[in-house]
Amino acid sequence: MQDNFEMREVYCQSLIDEAKTNQDIVVVEADLMNCIKTGPFKKAYPDRFFNVGIAEANMVGISAGLATCGKIPFCSSFGTFATRRCYDQVFISVAYSRQNVKIVGTDPGICAEINGGTHMPLEDMGIMRGIPHMLCVEPTDSAMLKALMPQIIAYKGATYIRLQRKKAETVFSENESFDLFKAKTVSKGKDATIIASGIMVSKAVEASQKLKELGYDVGVLNTFTWKPIDEQAIVEAAKSTGAIVVAENHNIRNGLYSSVAEVIVGKCPVPMESVAVMDEFGEVGKMPYLSQKFHLTVDDIVEKTLKAIKRK
Amino acid sequence: MDSEKLEFLQSKALDVRKLTVEMIGRLGVGHIGGALSIVDLLTVLYYDVANVDAKNPCNPDRDRIVMSKGHAGPALYSVLADKGYFPLDEIKTLNQPGTNLPSHCDMNKTVGIDMTAGSLGQGLSCAIGMALAAKIDKKDYKVFCILGDGESQEGQVWEALMYAGNACLDNLVIFVDNNGMQIDGMTKDINSIEPLDAKGQAFNLHTQRINGHDIEQIEKAIYQALNTKNKCSLIVLDTIKGYGADFVSCKGYGCHSMAISEEQWRAYCGKEKD
């Protein structure tokens, strides 16, 4: 089942709602206002909205300058252009300078669909989490996004938000509460834990149901904040289930699997398997095709979970 | 400008040059050429035009000065030390372990630095952000941004210039320290950025081109820029790399970063002993 609202609608409405009482919120766009749908913010607060045209480096630098004067800029583009296109600007003008800029990268991984390989960020979280102190978060669905936005605004520091633009598969109910720095347990299990993020969470839930039919009790943990990652939740999952599968819409290199492995290897080594893009470039296609092509399906999660359990 | 003021500023510029040479000289090596070429501008800004106060360096209403050519940090540190932003003795710590004075400007280390820079081409975008923040808050502080001419080969500079011109940011004054040299040679031979004044005009910038070592011309140009409404200003400063210290400028583009002996800096500064 899909959410009632698109993620971008919830994103923009949250900004508008918060901006009523928070005069510091500003939005900076690089010609994707009509894709990210921040037009309503511009309409509500025309003096706090800037569109710099197709110039992501300038967008990020301007945001950093605004932040030095106490503003809280939200700047956005497709994930590829919000990160690797302007990586040094994010690194130096924002992060190294300790500026409170929120960078939003949309269309994560295969969600870029028919925009294809040039627009398919499969490395964005990897390169952003490589920047010291950068908060990296991938909200799962509209309920979570709505709950996290006030926390993201209140957090003082450079932040990368990996955002699906369209309707997400519903995982959480509207009244669910979330802590930006705590992973969310979707379900507990005994035989293994699937640690998932983004579009892979609903697939992990489906996989756990299939595994139940096969006689396995598998939990799902949603580590929506990749950095700083909730080490305690990961260690608890490893200790209680003894096997971990990481499911991510991202390159295996430097992604969520790497983030989780950094914890598991040091604190509680257990068998680990990965469902991720195996060091490939993206390509054009719709989600069902791309899920098959890059082995990001429910069946892939089931297969890898069985493999992890076998290795225990 | 009356003669007394001119004399004061010229004497300050000389003091700043000496401090800059001493700072780099004590370390033995550094970006002396591009630091010295910008001293006259910094002197006019910090001792004459800009609304800045060493006693209140974080005043939200202060003018902002963004040194985008971050390797000229030592010239800026000399001004800040002389004005009392931090103890004068601290200039001896340039690039020493744990220092507050790194090669390239760092707003989180050095009191009085408004923006971190070092990776070239990024400062102007940040300065635009500061100018936009002033507009949002209806504050009348000004933003001054100093670019290098070699730095202006970076593409982001032109993204930023285009936006500054189109946004008519009349609270932002952009300077280009046009000393004509970069690490590998003469800017005109490597990848010329000229004609800078024509480019500035084409970008809808109120453009002036002056002798960057003439204190009176600098002051006049800045006031003209600040009195120009609804247009962002560009002031091209024709300068000489290493200006004011012959043992530096004689190296040509080799003075971008060079070794300075104790004998050299002590002779230049007239300081036989500490």
A148 with A111, same domain? Answer: yes
Does B156 sit within 8 Å of A62, measured CB to CB?
A: no
Enumerate the β-bridge partners of residue B67. Answer: B146
Residue where a domain stops, chosen among A163, A194, A212 = A163
A220 with A302, same domain? Answer: yes
Q: Which of A27, A41, A60, A68 should we substitute to test contact with B (largest number of B Cβ atoms within 10 Å)?
A: A68
| Average pLDDT in chain B | 97
Supply the pLDDT for residue B13.
98
Residue where a domain stops, chosen among A112, A129, A163 = A163
- Return d(Cα B31, Cα B74) in angstroms, integer: 8
A85 with A212, same domain? Answer: no
The answer to the question of residue A174 being in a domain is no
Does A52 sit within 8 Å of B163, measured CB to CB?
A: yes
Q: Show the domain range for A257.
A: 184-311
A144 with A49, same domain? Answer: yes
Name chain A contacts of B155, Cβ cutoff 8 Å. Answer: 57
Name chain B contacts of A24, Cβ cutoff 8 Å. Answer: none
Would you call B129 an interface residue with chain A, using a CB distance cutoff of 8 Å?
yes
- At residue A106 the predicted structure's pLDDT band, cuts being 50, 70 and 90, is very high
Which of A62, A91, A96 has the CB atom closest to B129's CB atom? A62
Cβ within 8 Å of residue B146, ≥6 positions away: B38, B41, B65, B66, B67, B68, B69, B72, B123, B175, B177
A158 with A193, same domain? Answer: no
Would you call A73 an interface residue with chain B, using a CB distance cutoff of 8 Å?
yes
Would you call A127 an interface residue with chain B, using a CB distance cutoff of 8 Å?
no
Would you call A157 an interface residue with chain B, using a CB distance cutoff of 8 Å?
no
Helix orientation angle between B155-166 and B123-136, rounded to the nearest 10 degrees? 20
Q: Is the pLDDT of residue B274 over 90?
A: no
A70 with A192, same domain? Answer: no
Q: What is the mean pLDDT of residues A213-221?
A: 98
A156 with A33, same domain? Answer: yes
pLDDT in tens, A50-95: 999 999 999 999 999 999 999 999 999 999 999 999 999 999 999 9
The answer to the question of residue A288 being in a domain is yes
Residue where a domain stops, chosen among A163, A193, A223 = A163
Q: What is the mean pLDDT of residues A95-104?
A: 98
Preceding amide of A228 cis, omega within 30: yes
pLDDT in tens, A136-164: 999 999 999 999 999 999 999 999 999 99
Q: Is the pLDDT of residue A99 over 90?
A: yes
- Give residue for tokens 């100018």: B131
Q: Is the pLDDT of residue A35 over 90?
A: yes
Q: Which two three-digit tokens encode residue A232?
A: 């305690």
A62 to chain B: closest CA residue: B129
The answer to the question of residue A65 being in a domain is yes
A21 with A141, same domain? Answer: yes
- Return d(Cα B128, Cα B111) in angstroms, integer: 21
Supply the pLDDT for residue B121.
98
pLDDT in tens, B81-110: 999 999 999 999 999 999 999 999 999 999
The answer to the question of residue A112 being in a domain is yes
Supply the pLDDT for residue A246.
98
The answer to the question of residue A207 being in a domain is yes
The answer to the question of residue A123 being in a domain is yes
Supply the pLDDT for residue A266.
96
Supply the pLDDT for residue A202.
98
Report yes or no on whether pTM surpasses 0.95.
yes
A136 with A195, same domain? Answer: no
Nearest to A94 by CA among A61, A133, A55: A61
- Return d(Cα A106, Cα A37) in angstroms, integer: 11
Name chain B contacts of A89, Cβ cutoff 8 Å. Answer: 122, 125, 156
- Return d(Cα A233, Cα A245) in angstroms, integer: 14
Q: What is the mean pLDDT of residues A186-212?
A: 98
| In chain B, beta strands by DSSP E | 29-30, 64-67, 143-148, 172-178, 181-182, 185-186, 206-211, 233-238, 258-259
- Give residue for tokens 């945001």: A63
pLDDT in tens, B175-188: 999 999 999 999 99
Q: What is the mean pLDDT of residues B154-166?
A: 98
Q: What is the mean pLDDT of residues A1-25?
A: 98
In the stretch 175-234 of chain B, residues with CB closer than 8 A to chain A read none
CATH number at residue A210: 3.40.50.920
Would you call A102 an interface residue with chain B, using a CB distance cutoff of 8 Å?
no
pLDDT in tens, B40-50: 999 999 999 99
User: Which DSSP category does A212 fall into?
Assistant: H
Would you call A53 an interface residue with chain B, using a CB distance cutoff of 8 Å?
yes
User: Which DSSP category does A167 fall into?
Assistant: P
Which of A48, A65, A98 has the CB atom closest to B129's CB atom? A65
A199 with A145, same domain? Answer: no
Supply the pLDDT for residue B60.
98
CA angle, A29 then A37 then A165, to 5° = 100
The answer to the question of residue A217 being in a domain is yes
B271 CA: distance to closest CA in chain A (Å): 37
Name chain B contacts of A66, Cβ cutoff 8 Å. Answer: 129-130, 132-133
Would you call A64 an interface residue with chain B, using a CB distance cutoff of 8 Å?
yes
A198 with A241, same domain? Answer: yes
Would you call A49 an interface residue with chain B, using a CB distance cutoff of 8 Å?
no
Supply the pLDDT for residue A219.
98
- At residue B202 the predicted structure's pLDDT band, cuts being 50, 70 and 90, is very high
The answer to the question of residue A2 being in a domain is no
**Tally of domains within chain A:** 2
Q: For each of the domains in chain B, give its residue range(s) and CATH number, in order of start.
A: 3-269 (3.40.50.970)
Under a CB-based contact definition with an 8 Å cutoff, are residues A165 and A6 in contact? yes
Q: What is the mean pLDDT of residues B210-232?
A: 98
| Average pLDDT in chain A | 98
In chain B, the percentage of residues whose pLDDT exceeds 70 is 100
A212 with A159, same domain? Answer: no
The interface predicted TM-score of the complex, written ipTM, equals 0.98
Which of B126, B136, B162 has the CB atom closest to A47's CB atom? B136
B33 CA: distance to closest CA in chain A (Å): 24
Please name the residue ranges forming H helices in A115-230: 124-129, 142-154, 200-213
A95 CA: distance to closest CA in chain B (Å): 10
Supply the pLDDT for residue A240.
98
- At residue B273 the predicted structure's pLDDT band, cuts being 50, 70 and 90, is confident
Name chain B contacts of A75, Cβ cutoff 8 Å. Answer: none
Would you call A57 an interface residue with chain B, using a CB distance cutoff of 8 Å?
yes
